[in-house]
Amino acid sequence: MIEQQQKEEQSEQQQLQQPKEQQQHIPTVIDIPSDFEDTVVKKYDADRYECCPPPLFIVLMSLIEIGVFVYDLLTTKTQMVPAGPIPVDSVFIYRPDRRQEIWRFISYMVLHANWFHLGFNVVVQVMIGLPLEMVHGSLRIACIYLAGVFAGSLGTSVVDAEVYLVGASGGVYALLAAHLANILLNFGEMKYGVLKLASILIFASCDFGYAIYSRHVAEPINAPSVSYVAHITGALAGLTIGLLVLKNFDHRPQKFLLWWSALGIYAAFTIFAIVFNLVNTMTAQILEEEGEVIKQHLLHDLGVS
């Protein structure tokens, strides 16, 4: 018995002298898997809103649009009513007969037809743009917004070529579609992804339906046209550019297919629209010059100086 006790004591001492990494680990009720903490920290990164650096782009664009509208009201001496001035001769408005002035493809976003048009765009872009900007940063949101504005005028110049454009609806719809891109990229990393998707689709469908109704049903004679083409192409730009530039918190290999698809679609649309405008502008200039020559010949033949 004494020898057996001595052997047991020696065995216990040998176990105590073993290195810690060689000792058998006995799990307890408070053991936590090594990857659990990372999962908790990273799970909702897409829903983290940060104010540093501050989200300045959407606020700045909204202030510029409001300031330009008020300036137009004051300088044209128009009464401040919901049906505000439409500055057709403004250097900012997109005009199909001035498409060679390429800044108009972007600058039209600072003009608005009336108070309702301005208020709707400002409210929506603040509500949907600020949360995106607080997560993804001002530079990414600026790229999406301006790409939507540019796509709105490009698409209108191809499909609805006689329409003048004012307003930031292309940029607003780009922000709406960027929310969809954010959901596609980070659905597994955000709360209430399905609810966000449903609310975006419902809102966009209602507003787009109203744009079609205003254009084809309720629009009075001589009223400014509502270009729903700018809404569609702005949304397309927002979706594709959003997939390209927004932060991807869910690094899965399948997401690269979305990235390349978005790049191909946006590049194809943009190249086609730019080439179309170049050819159309050059053709119009040639026809105008030929028409002037024919006119001069006719006047000469008629003896009119």
| Six-digit token string for 304 | 């009119």
Quote the distance between the C-alpha of residue 32 and its chain's center: 41
* Whole-number Å distance between alpha carbons of 290 and 102: 24
> Which has the closest alpha carbon to 106: 64, 57, 174, 167?
167
Torsion of CA 105, 166, 164, 80, to 10 degrees: -150
Greatest Cα pair distance in the chain: 141
Classify burial at 27, counting beta carbons within 10 Å of its beta carbon; exposed 0-12, middle 13-18, buried 19 or more.
exposed
> Which has the closest alpha carbon to 154: 273, 275, 22, 290?
273
Q: Which of 90, 107, 157, 169 is catalytic?
A: 169
Which residue type, as a one-letter code, is found at position 71?
Answer: Y
Neighbouring residues of 23: CB distance < 8 A, sequence distance ≥ 6 = 15
* Whole-number Å distance between alpha carbons of 95 and 105: 9
231 noted as active-site residue: yes
169 noted as active-site residue: yes
What is the set of active-site residues?
169, 231
